[in-house]
């Protein structure tokens, strides 16, 4: 479910802004670290969960405004270089601020312990994360499908010129889209903090997976990204039950296989 | 011989006096790697984000043969170039039908695939530990174990590679590739089979990467897992962009800058990747042409001042 | 300005600047009198948190001697190996060639150490290392590398024998192993020793170094219905694994063994609930009662707040052993120091310690701990009791180091 969330955010950015956001993993990491600091500062998990992702969204806003905005015409090479450079800066920044040692964060008291599901004992917190991520994914999808702003965004993915011809400020659209994508990455990170623990490099693996989800789902296809995210998560769990070491490799194998046969991903339009 | 080439030659001759031969060798090896990539990136407009697939595969195969079968250096080189070319043909065949972001992602995904295969196949590659024990067998009485001797070998191969690449880009093939970069549709309309030429560029680029890979394995005596990882793929892309992908010599400058940063600055500050990230951002915002452009602009500014 | 001339200046200028920059470290050369010792400690990568700890321990040992030995000043240089074989070997070579280092301690990762050990052999420098791979004093042994950590056999014997003493009925074991040199070595011997106790290994899953997502591994472990789960991993991996095993409810119902732990550093990252029914094997625990340990623990705790775990202690002890080598040899020549280290018997951090000249393995005790429940903790770092120590050396029939070789 987290994969779907990350994929969704990246798909949004890729679709609307048409840039490969290599900093998406770093935004995920920043979300996790801000969450820990917020819990430390405010003392309440729930409040922190509210504010930490907003911090990442604001960061995203700034990044888009100050940097990415200038690069739309620059070509993928440079967008890649820029966002990658950004990811380095963010990762090293995390080390500078929070130190290179991993940090542990426990789930809130309400969600500790597990639930006996009959066939397996499953941690409550993980169920909570699945539920929240699911809500966010559905909520984002509803926003995009049912609201006017969402419609504008979807139109932006399809045809930017038309949207600006219709008098809508395309730059504002891009900024919001990026901030939204960053928000999703940030909240994914914040939710993950008690599960994986934090380390400065936590964004790197997530980035790879996010890219797989987006490529698999079809660039810019929101529903596709969601479906692909779920698919990947399930595939990984299934493979892990039989051949644990290969569970990460399988993700890339599936991606490569699908892209060779269907370059637009499972649900994309050419 | 024109002035630029003279400068390169001078650099090759003088470098081992300024830095250790091992670092000097590494710079030229990375430059060969960059030249291969730039044929794809700068000249054909294909951002291949998986060059380490060919680099690493060649290193592993040649390394394995060196270690267990004691082949001589030239056979090792041949193997490296061959493996690089073949793996590039495979990957290229799958990738050239796509374009834009899809192309980048697919090269990345296939790179990861090769990475995980190398990671899992521990009996051959050593997995996480890498493949140590790579020899530098002597040839005709030349002991390549001596760092300086090896440097001469590497730099000679670099000059040779540079010459070949120069010939390629100045040949009709080079022009066709650039035409494809500028406007693929038009190139096709004129009668060139774009995918086939892209594949050819891939194979050549792969051959160069493979050569770099073997030399790398022999330089360090080990093939680390990173050699086939996406970080190495990323490094060569970034180094070339920083040097300036619009020029034949860009990858060379990029190699210098990158190796300098990663070797020197890292001993001074553990957080040096921050500077690297900043360098990337600055290049993108202000200096798209990389160091080449920066220097050109500076020179233009200088000369315009003098006119007054 | 003609095209050619501009590019020409460009080329020369860029190269000149870069070369000057590259030459920079080389210009700083060690002075003749100095003894240069390299600490190859990771500041980035999977063991980024361990490197600074190692550095602390090594520095403390050197500062105890006022950075001098044999009347000569010691120059302590460090390099970040980035927990990667390629980077580590490169930087080690650079320090050896550029700084004149002839003595090297580190790195931390066993896999990387195998590669670095080759550098030591090729460059003929003294190399001291602490880690879980048996190969450095085994199949890949050579005259220049020394192993400080207990042999994985010793560790396995200590852990398995003593655990079985306390839990004789726990016959079904599930292993979770880090997938590289260290994991493989320890796994091999736990299985060997386990056989003698009639233990059935119901499962053994390998995970990549640096793994943080353990839910799949944990669920698989649970499905095997073991009596005990054993982790053969280290640092962040161990912490993440232990936490996940707890989250899924496997502990504290079942015991969890961390077979090769860093001790304090890992345990403080786990909440007391997670430490219930946690058994720990480690190369050093701070309640070890020897004069050297007592002094070291006191100084370290005063300086850094926490008592030291395996990482800084190993660096500390290795440095002390190397200095003892200098003292015994009365020389700083590589071959003399190696000769002095072979067969060195000394009362150091762990009590009686001896370096086996045939394999360069340090023979010393390994610790087995049982963690305390929260109620029994007298202070925040009163994490565990030492249940037993074991120092059974690797039997000759297993020794893969047939000939340590010559210089």
Which tens digits make up the pLDDT trace of B237-263? 888 988 888 888 889 988 988 887 777
Of B7, B14, B20, which has the smallest distance from its Cβ to C98's Cβ? B20
Chain A residues touching C45 at Cβ < 8 A? 201
Cα separation, A45 vs A58, in Å, equals 20
Range of weakest confidence among B258-272, C68-82, C313-327? B258-272
Range of weakest confidence among A6-15, C87-96, C386-395? A6-15
Of B2, B128, B264, which has the smallest distance from its Cβ to C22's Cβ? B264
Residue A155 binned pLDDT confidence (cut-offs 50, 70, 90): confident
B112 compared with A237, residue with greater pLDDT: B112
Write phi, then psi, for C129 (nearest 5 degrees). Answer: -145, 150
What is the average per-residue pLDDT within A149-178? 74
Q: Is B230 close to A77, i.e. CB distance below 8 A?
A: no
Range of weakest confidence among A8-22, B113-127, C183-197? A8-22
CA-closest candidate to residue A181, choices A17, A47, A1: A17
Write phi, then psi, for C79 (nearest 5 degrees). Answer: -140, 140
Q: How many CA atoms lie within 13 A of B196 on its CB side?
A: 6
Task: Classify residue B26: in a domain, yes or no.
Answer: yes
Q: What is the ipTM of this complex?
A: 0.77
| Res A269: pLDDT | 56
Q: How many CA atoms lie within 13 A of A9 on its CB side?
A: 35
Chain C residues touching A240 at Cβ < 8 A? 216-217, 219-220
Residue C16 binned pLDDT confidence (cut-offs 50, 70, 90): low
Q: Is B109 close to A212, i.e. CB distance below 8 A?
A: yes
Distance of residue A65 Cα from the nearest chain C Cα, in angstroms: 31
A264 compared with B282, residue with greater pLDDT: B282
Cα separation, C265 vs A102, in Å, equals 11
Res C17 pLDDT > 70: no
Distance of residue A155 Cα from the nearest chain C Cα, in angstroms: 37
* Cα dihedral C357, C358, C360, C366 sign: negative
Range of weakest confidence among B14-18, B264-268, C169-173? B264-268
Residue C27 binned pLDDT confidence (cut-offs 50, 70, 90): very low
* B280 close to A (CB below 8 A): yes
Range of weakest confidence among A132-141, B139-148, C23-32, C311-320? C23-32
Mutation pick from C38, C40, C81, C86 vs chain B, by most beta carbons of B within 10 Å, is C86
* B192 close to A (CB below 8 A): no
Buried b (16+ CB within 10 A) or exposed e, B174-210: bebbebbbeebeebeeeebebbebbbbbbbbbbbbbb
Distance of residue C390 Cα from the nearest chain B Cα, in angstroms: 29
Res C9 pLDDT > 60: no
Distance of residue C175 Cα from the nearest chain B Cα, in angstroms: 19
CA-closest candidate to residue B98, choices B184, B36, B205: B184
Nearest CA in chain A to C247: A123
C27 compared with C391, residue with greater pLDDT: C391
Q: What is the DSSP letter of C359?
A: T
| Res C190: pLDDT | 93
Asked if C318 and C105 count as a contact pair (C-beta separation under 8 A), the reply is yes
Q: Is C49 close to A100, i.e. CB distance below 8 A?
A: yes
The C-alpha R_g of chain C, in whole angstroms, comes to 23
Cα separation, B140 vs B136, in Å, equals 13
What is the number of domains present in chain B? Answer: 1
Res C208 pLDDT > 80: yes
By three-state DSSP, how is residue C366 classified? strand
Range of weakest confidence among A221-235, B59-73, C72-86, C238-252? A221-235
* B70 close to A (CB below 8 A): no
A98 compared with C19, residue with greater pLDDT: A98
Q: Is B132 close to C114, i.e. CB distance below 8 A?
A: yes
Res C4 pLDDT > 50: no
Res C1 pLDDT > 70: no
Distance of residue A123 Cα from the nearest chain C Cα, in angstroms: 5
A168 compared with C362, residue with greater pLDDT: C362
* B138 close to C (CB below 8 A): no
| Res B116: pLDDT | 85
Strand bridging mode C103-105 / C126-129: parallel
Distance of residue A156 Cα from the nearest chain C Cα, in angstroms: 36
Task: Classify residue B244: in a domain, yes or no.
Answer: no
| Res C156: pLDDT | 92
| Res C25: pLDDT | 44
Chain A residues touching C176 at Cβ < 8 A? none
Place of tokens 């939204």: A180
What is the average per-residue pLDDT within C21-41? 67
Residue B283 binned pLDDT confidence (cut-offs 50, 70, 90): confident
E runs forming strands in chain A: 114-116, 121-123
| Res C147: pLDDT | 93
Residue B96 binned pLDDT confidence (cut-offs 50, 70, 90): confident
What is the average per-residue pLDDT within C393-407? 85
What is the average per-residue pLDDT within B170-195? 87
The residues pairing with C257 across neighbouring beta strands, listed in sequence order, are C230, C279
Range of weakest confidence among A203-217, A253-267, C277-291? A253-267
Task: Classify residue B187: in a domain, yes or no.
Answer: yes
Asked if C92 and C38 count as a contact pair (C-beta separation under 8 A), the reply is yes
Q: Which chains touch A (3 or more CB pairs under 8 A)?
A: B, C
SS3 content of chain C, % helix, strand, coil (to 5): 45, 20, 35
User: Which of the listed ranges A95-109, A119-133, B284-298, C203-217 does the model predict with the highest average pLDDT?
Assistant: C203-217
Res B1 pLDDT > 60: no
| Res A244: pLDDT | 67
CA-closest candidate to residue A191, choices A11, A75, A45: A45
Direct distance between the N- and C-terminal alpha carbons of chain B, in angstroms, rounded to an integer: 33
Mutation pick from B37, B94, B112, B121 vs chain A, by most beta carbons of A within 10 Å, is B112
What is the average per-residue pLDDT within C396-406? 84
Percent residues over pLDDT 70 in chain A? 83
* B246 close to A (CB below 8 A): no
What is the average per-residue pLDDT within A253-261? 77
Cα separation, C142 vs C335, in Å, equals 13
Place of tokens 């050579």: C142
Res B140 pLDDT > 80: no
E runs forming strands in chain B: 131-132, 222-223
Q: Is C216 close to A247, i.e. CB distance below 8 A?
A: yes
Cα separation, B174 vs B44, in Å, equals 8
A126 compared with C147, residue with greater pLDDT: C147
A126 compared with C119, residue with greater pLDDT: C119
Chain C residues touching A200 at Cβ < 8 A? 48
C38 compared with A237, residue with greater pLDDT: C38
Cβ-based neighbours of B10, under 8 Å, separated by 6 or more: C12, C15
Cα separation, B170 vs C88, in Å, equals 40
Residue pLDDT, tens place only, C294-342: 999 999 999 998 899 899 999 999 999 999 999 999 989 999 999 999 9
Chain A residues touching C213 at Cβ < 8 A? 195-196
Q: Is A123 close to C247, i.e. CB distance below 8 A?
A: yes
Residue C380 binned pLDDT confidence (cut-offs 50, 70, 90): confident
Chain B / chain C CB contacts < 8 angstroms: 147
Residue C32 binned pLDDT confidence (cut-offs 50, 70, 90): low
Q: Number of helices and strands (H, E) in chain A? A: 11, 2
Task: Classify residue B281: in a domain, yes or no.
Answer: no
Write phi, then psi, for C347 (nearest 5 degrees). Answer: -95, 105
Q: Number of helices and strands (H, E) in chain B? A: 15, 2
Which residues span the domain enclosing B180? 19-229
Residue C255 binned pLDDT confidence (cut-offs 50, 70, 90): very high
Cα separation, A65 vs A77, in Å, equals 20
Residue pLDDT, tens place only, B197-215: 999 999 999 999 999 999 9
Strand bridging mode C103-105 / C35-40: parallel
| Res A268: pLDDT | 61
* Cα dihedral C348, C350, C354, C356 sign: negative
Asked if A102 and A198 count as a contact pair (C-beta separation under 8 A), the reply is yes
* B113 close to C (CB below 8 A): no
User: Is the entire prediction scored with pTM above 0.80?
Assistant: yes
Chain C residues touching B257 at Cβ < 8 A? 18
Interface of A with B in 215-244 (CB under 8 A): 215, 219
Cα separation, B288 vs B261, in Å, equals 19
Task: Classify residue B167: in a domain, yes or no.
Answer: yes
Cβ-based neighbours of C131, under 8 Å, separated by 6 or more: C108, C109, C110, C113, C147, C149, C181, C182
The residues pairing with C178 across neighbouring beta strands, listed in sequence order, are C207
Task: Classify residue B55: in a domain, yes or no.
Answer: yes
Cα separation, C281 vs C158, in Å, equals 8
What is the average per-residue pLDDT within C341-349? 91
Chain A residues touching B109 at Cβ < 8 A? 212, 215, 252, 255-256, 259
Percent residues over pLDDT 70 in chain B? 97
The residues pairing with C35 across neighbouring beta strands, listed in sequence order, are C74
What is the average per-residue pLDDT within B257-286? 78
What is the average per-residue pLDDT within B278-302? 75
Chain A residues touching B237 at Cβ < 8 A? 77, 80-81
Of B116, B279, B285, which has the smallest distance from its Cβ to A252's Cβ? B116
Range of weakest confidence among A113-122, A236-245, C151-160? A113-122
Nearest CA in chain C to A248: C208
Chain mean pLDDT for chain C: 86
Nearest CA in chain A to B94: A260
Residue pLDDT, tens place only, A57-91: 888 888 888 777 777 777 777 787 888 888 888 88
Place of tokens 């060379």: B252
Mutation pick from A65, A100, A259, A265 vs chain B, by most beta carbons of B within 10 Å, is A259
Chain A residues touching C269 at Cβ < 8 A? 102, 104
Angle (nearest 5°) at CA B31 between B30 and B32: 90
Mutation pick from C55, C249, C267 vs chain A, by most beta carbons of A within 10 Å, is C249
C348 compared with B308, residue with greater pLDDT: C348
Residue C36 binned pLDDT confidence (cut-offs 50, 70, 90): very high
Chain mean pLDDT for chain B: 86
Distance of residue C376 Cα from the nearest chain B Cα, in angstroms: 41
| Res C362: pLDDT | 92
| Res B60: pLDDT | 94
Interface of B with A in 157-186 (CB under 8 A): none
Task: Classify residue B66: in a domain, yes or no.
Answer: yes
Distance of residue C270 Cα from the nearest chain A Cα, in angstroms: 8
Res A243 pLDDT > 90: no
Task: Classify residue B284: in a domain, yes or no.
Answer: no
| Res A267: pLDDT | 67
């Amino acid at each position: 479910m987290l994969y779907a969330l990350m994929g969704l955010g990246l798909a949004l950015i890729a679709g609307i802004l048409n840039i490969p956001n290599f900093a998406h993993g770093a935004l995920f990491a920043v979300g996790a670290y801000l969450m820990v600091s917020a819990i430390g500062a405010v003392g309440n998990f729930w409040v922190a969960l509210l504010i930490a992702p907003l911090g990442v969204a604001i960061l995203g806003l700034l990044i888009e405004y100050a940097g990415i905005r200038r690069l739309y015409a620059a070509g993928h090479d440079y967008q890649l270089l820029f966002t990658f450079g950004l990811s380095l800066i963010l990762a090293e920044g995390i080390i500078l601020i929070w130190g290179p040692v991993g940090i542990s964060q426990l789930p809130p008291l309400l969600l500790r312990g597990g639930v006996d599901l009959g066939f397996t004992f499953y941690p409550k917190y993980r169920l909570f994360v699945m539920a929240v991520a699911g809500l966010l994914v559905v909520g984002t999808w509803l926003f995009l499908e049912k609201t006017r702003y969402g419609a504008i965004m979807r139109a932006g993915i399809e045809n930017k010129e038309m949207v600006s011809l219709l008098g809508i400020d395309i730059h504002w659209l891009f900024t919001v889209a990026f901030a939204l994508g960053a928000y999703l990455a940030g909240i994914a990170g914040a939710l993950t903090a008690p599960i994986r623990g934090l380390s400065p490099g936590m964004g790197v693996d997530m980035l790879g997976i996010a890219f797989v989800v987006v490529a698999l789902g079809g660039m810019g296809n929101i529903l596709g990204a969601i479906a692909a995210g779920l698919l990947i998560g399930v595939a990984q769990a299934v493979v892990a039950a039989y051949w644990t070491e290969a569970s990460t490799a399988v993700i890339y194998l599936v991606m490569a296989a699908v892209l060779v046969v269907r370059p637009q991903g499972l649900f994309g339009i050419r | 011989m024109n002035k630029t080439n003279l400068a390169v030659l001078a650099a090759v001759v003088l470098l081992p006096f300024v830095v250790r031969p091992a670092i000097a060798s590494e710079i030229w090896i990375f430059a060969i790697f960059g030249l291969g990539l730039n044929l794809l990136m700068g000249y054909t407009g294909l951002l291949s984000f998986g060059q380490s697939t060919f680099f690493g595969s060649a290193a592993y195969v040649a390394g394995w043969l060196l270690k267990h079968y004691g082949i001589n250096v030239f056979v090792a080189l041949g193997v490296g170039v061959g493996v690089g070319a073949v793996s590039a043909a495979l990957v290229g065949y799958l990738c050239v039908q796509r374009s834009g972001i899809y192309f980048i992602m697919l090269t990345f995904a296939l790179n990861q695939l090769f990475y995980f295969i190398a990671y899992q196949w521990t009996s051959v590659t050593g997995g996480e530990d890498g493949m140590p024990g790579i020899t530098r067998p002597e040839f005709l009485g030349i002991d390549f174990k001596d760092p300086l001797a090896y440097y001469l070998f590497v730099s000679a191969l670099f000059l040779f590679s540079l010459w070949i690449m120069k010939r390629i880009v100045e040949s009709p093939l080079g022009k066709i590739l650039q035409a494809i970069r500028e406007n693929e549709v038009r190139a096709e309309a004129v009668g060139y089979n774009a995918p086939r030429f892209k594949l050819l560029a891939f194979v050549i680029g792969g051959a160069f990467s493979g050569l770099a890979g073997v030399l790398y394995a022999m330089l360090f005596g080990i093939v680390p897992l990173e050699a086939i990882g996406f970080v190495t793929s990323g490094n060569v892309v970034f180094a070339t962009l920083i040097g300036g992908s619009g020029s034949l010599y860009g990858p060379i400058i990029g190699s210098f800058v990158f190796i300098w940063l990663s070797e020197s600055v890292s001993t001074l500050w553990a957080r040096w990747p921050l500077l690297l990230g900043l360098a990337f951002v600055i290049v993108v915002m202000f200096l798209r042409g990389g160091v080449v452009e920066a220097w050109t602009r500076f020179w233009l500014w200088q000369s315009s001042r003098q006119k007054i | 300005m003609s095209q050619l001339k501009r590019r020409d200046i460009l080329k020369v200028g860029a190269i000149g600047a870069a070369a000057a920059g590259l030459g920079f470290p080389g210009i700083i050369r060690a002075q003749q009198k100095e003894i240069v010792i390299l600490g190859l400690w990771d500041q980035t990568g999977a063991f980024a948190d361990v490197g600074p700890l190692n550095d602390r321990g090594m520095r403390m040992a050197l500062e105890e001697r006022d950075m001098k030995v044999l009347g000569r000043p010691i120059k302590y240089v460090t390099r970040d190996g980035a927990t990667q074989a390629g980077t580590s070997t490169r930087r080690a070579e650079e320090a050896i060639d550029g700084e004149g280092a002839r003595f090297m301690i580190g790195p931390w990762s066993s896999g990387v150490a195998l590669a670095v050990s080759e550098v030591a052999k090729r460059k003929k420098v003294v190399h001291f290392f602490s880690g879980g791979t048996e190969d450095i004093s085994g199949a890949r042994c050579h005259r220049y590398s020394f192993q400080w950590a207990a042999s994985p056999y010793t560790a396995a014997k200590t852990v398995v024998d003593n655990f079985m003493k306390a839990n004789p009925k726990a016959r079904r074991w599930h292993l979770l192993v880090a997938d590289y040199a260290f994991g493989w070595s320890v796994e091999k011997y736990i299985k060997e020793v386990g056989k003698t106790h009639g233990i059935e290994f119901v499962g053994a899953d390998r995970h990549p170094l640096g793994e943080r997502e353990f839910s799949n591994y944990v669920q698989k472990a649970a499905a095997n219905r073991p009596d005990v789960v054993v982790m053969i991993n280290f640092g962040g991996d161990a912490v993440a694994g232990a936490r996940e095993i707890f989250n899924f409810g496997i502990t504290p119902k079942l015991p969890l063994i961390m077979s090769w732990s860093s001790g304090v550093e890992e345990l403080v990252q786990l909440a007391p609930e997670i430490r219930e029914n946690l058994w720990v094997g480690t190369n050093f625990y701070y309640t070890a009662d020897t004069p050297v340990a007592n002094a070291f623990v006191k100084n370290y705790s005063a300086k850094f707040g926490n008592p030291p775990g395996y990482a800084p202690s190993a660096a500390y002890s290795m440095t002390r052993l190397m200095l003892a080598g200098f003292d015994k040899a009365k020389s700083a020549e590589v071959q003399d120091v190696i000769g002095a280290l072979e067969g060195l018997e000394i009362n150091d951090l762990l009590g009686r310690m001896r370096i086996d000249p045939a394999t360069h393995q340090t023979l010393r005790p390994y610790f087995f701990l049982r963690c305390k429940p929260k109620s029994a903790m007298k202070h925040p770092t009163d994490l565990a009791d030492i249940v037993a120590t074991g120092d059974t050396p690797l039997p000759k029939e297993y020794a893969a180091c047939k000939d340590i070789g010559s210089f």
